[in-house]
Chains A and B, each alone.
Chain A
Amino acid sequence: MSFLTVHGLRKAFGPVVAVQDFSLEAERGEFISLLGPSGCGKTTVLRMIAGFERPTAGRVVIDGEDVTDLPTRARRIGMVFQSYALFPNLTVEGNIAFGLKVAGIGREAIATRVKEMLGLIGLQQLGGRYPMELSGGQQQRVALARAVAIRPRILLLDEPLSALDAKIRVSLREEVRGIQRELGITAIFVTHDQEEALALSHRVVVMSEGWVEQTGTPAEVYRTPRTPFVATFVGTANVLPCRIEAAAGKVVRYGAARLTAGQAVTGAVGEIVQFAVRPEAIGLQRFEGASNSLAAVVQDTRFLGPVVRLRVMLEGGLPAVVDVHGEGARDVPAAGAAVHLWFRPESLQVLDRHGHGARAAGSGPGGSSGP
């Protein structure tokens, strides 16, 4: 059994359903990101795990203990808030010691633990300062130390870095991850920044409009996106609607072009299925290729440093994006040039044809591994 099991969480605020159906199993020490655009329900999921919101439905089980009906203070959960939420009347040391004090731990033990925590976040010199006398990055470190000082079973982080500027954000995220790894604590990290999620996590849960779109390792979510939303939200993708040529075959048709997918496509002959192709998986050819070749006209080109990004118009009027890197980037076709796009069958990734509702009814594979 997993260390953390979240099953069928749902939260309605009056007519607004913030979270539709959220399930997740996390192993001890795992670092999991909830990734999705603003308003998709990430914070609400975290707040239900923390016990700040009462789920409309669903259970939260930590280490075999069902905590769904427990108040927050009995859950032994550490949380880091986007706003830091440090106590302004207490010093850095006072903030870190707060949870230990209310737990009735002895003075000596508290002093030792506080010192250890200050070392962990590298702020040994600033223990006597008040929160208002610290930078944003320092405050967030203190908030992290305060949360882990109580040795929580789970660490919840709600966009802890989003109020910081870009440079600090990157260095602090590595620090957060390092501390999490060092303590071996199970962490759920909320972010709307796909790069952050991919860089840090063992697994990523991609959410949209209250639904889990997909759960998987960063590579799985990026390479084999399950839905059009995941394909386009995590990285850039071209989504092609194609028609099934043969039942259980790999061959589909986009307009007149015949395309071969990496795996067999289920569905009735004639049915339209969405496919994703990453811009970097596409090559350019002067002549039509034998297979997986799409005619297009270059609209414009953009130099982005490591790659040159071409916006092209496919036959049939669908816009697409192609990234050219390496030597080819020195000599890309100009706007107006007719080109042929080419990609490997493995790069043509089939997407779920159903929306959220269908998945809720249980027809799809879903993102989670509920019991």
Chain B
Amino acid sequence: MLVSRAGVLTAMGVGPFALFALLFLLLPTSNLLIGAFQDGDGTPTWANIAGLLTPSVIAAFRVSIIVSAVSAVLGAAAGLAVALALRGDAIPQVIRQAVLTVSGVASNFAGVPLAFAFLATLGRTGLVTVILKSWFGVDLYASGFNLLSIVGLVFTYLYFQMPLMVLVIMPAVEGVKRDWAEAAAMLGASPAQFMLRIVAPVLAPSVIGAALLLFANAFGAVATAYALTGSSVNLVTILLFAQIRGDVLHDPNLGYALALGMVVVTGLCNVAYLRLRAFSDRRLR
């Protein structure tokens, strides 16, 4: 069989990517898969998978999924609102640029610095907490708020989830043409009808896709949560971290199983996303 010139060129282009995927995606994943079904001595076992079904691990997955889902949904809603507000000629270009730049920075602001920033403002002795209490008589912590809790964690995650949503959804929002709004108005539709019948269906796949991305983003996050709450909030990533860190809980093979469980959850997200895209492709591309 002859190999065409174009074929060689394609191979040269795709080659590095294939190598990268092999080294950093396929090998670790298969390693994970194998490790999840072995004990410390390399003997095949179902023990690790069984370990996933213990109450503490199930609880960890539950909390992780709840925190990720809630921060993804709220972040997506808020980010979408911002992106929609930035659309069109009503907002000056300067403000638009400023918001996008801030979003770029904030969406990458995570880990220890973010945790510290939140502790310093909304922690038990944080600036905002103190000001609210001494100037306005509002005692956040007495009213049930605690930064070092699931609610606090969701709140903190929103700090990068919302700007990430703005960045991810902006291109799709900009794809909503002014002409469409005018055509709808010409045909007698109110702005609400236009939103409901045109904008919502057009943006839905992108919005849900972006929300899934936000979910995965929060689901895999560990540094922010660990720095903020230590191990007081029981997340999968924190549990996983404990297995491979080498303290009392040390059990690398349970770690493999935990990681495998996370891969399954994110994998399901991806499948959902791909199905969604295939559905919207026919009309929009």
Contacts and interface: CB of A to CB of B under 8 A. Distances in A.
A318 B223 CA distance: 82
Nearest to B182: A52
Which 7 pairs, one residue from A and one from B, show the smallest C-beta to C-beta distance? A99-B187, A85-B179, A72-B185, A89-B201, A85-B183, A102-B189, A130-B283
A104 to B, nearest CB: 10
Given A89-B198, A89-B284, A73 B190 contact: yes
Interface in B96-149: none
A87 interface: yes
Interface of B: 177, 179-180, 182-190, 193, 197-198, 201-202, 282-285
B180 A87 contact: yes
A83 to B, nearest CB: 5
Contacts of A73: 185-190
B187 A98 contact: yes
A77 interface: yes
Contacts of A130: 282-283
How large, as a class, is the contact surface on chain A? 20 to 34
Q: Which of B177, B188, B197 has the most CB of A within 10 A?
A: B188
Interface in A44-87: 50-52, 71-74, 76-79, 81, 83, 85-87
Contacts of B285: 132
15 contacts: A50-B186, A52-B182, A72-B186, A73-B186, A81-B183, A83-B179, A85-B182, A85-B183, A87-B184, A87-B197, A89-B198, A98-B189, A99-B187, A147-B186, A150-B188
Nearest to A79: B186
A89 B202 contact: yes
Nearest to B281: A132
B193 A102 contact: yes
A176 B197 CA distance: 28
Contacts of A98: 184, 187, 189, 197
Given A72-B185, A103-B188, A146-B187, A85 B193 contact: no
Contacts of A150: 187-188
A88 interface: yes
Nearest to A99: B187
Given A52-B182, A73-B189, A147-B186, A88 B197 contact: no
A75 B189 CA distance: 11
Given A85-B180, A132-B283, 13 more contacts: A50-B182, A71-B185, A77-B186, A79-B182, A79-B186, A81-B182, A83-B177, A85-B177, A88-B284, A99-B186, A102-B189, A130-B283, A147-B186
A72 B180 CA distance: 13
Interface in A85-105: 85-90, 98-99, 101-103
Contacts of B202: 87-89
A72 B193 CA distance: 14
Nearest to A72: B185
A26 to B, nearest CB: 18
B213 to A, nearest CB: 22
A89 B187 contact: no
Contacts of B185: 51-52, 71-73
A78 B188 CA distance: 10
A102 B182 contact: no
Q: Which of B180, B183, B282 has the most CB of A within 10 A?
A: B183
Given A52-B182, A89-B202, A132 B284 contact: yes
A74 B186 CA distance: 8
A102 B186 contact: no
Contact of B283 (A76, A83, A88): A88
A102 B187 CA distance: 8
Q: Which of A81, A89, A147 has the most CB of B within 10 A?
A: A89
Nearest to A78: B186
B182 A99 contact: no
A88 B284 CA distance: 6
A52 B184 CA distance: 12
A362 to B, nearest CB: 35
A14 to B, nearest CB: 13
Contacts of A88: 202, 283-284
A102 B188 contact: yes
Contacts of A52: 182, 185
A62 to B, nearest CB: 14
Interface string A102-115: 11000000000000
Contacts of A147: 186-187
B204 to A, nearest CB: 9
B188 A99 contact: yes
Nearest to A94: B197
Contacts of B197: 87, 98, 101-102
A74 B187 CA distance: 9
A101 B201 CA distance: 16
B278 to A, nearest CB: 14
A95 to B, nearest CB: 9
A83 B187 CA distance: 16
Given A89-B202, A98-B187, A98-B189, A72 B182 contact: yes
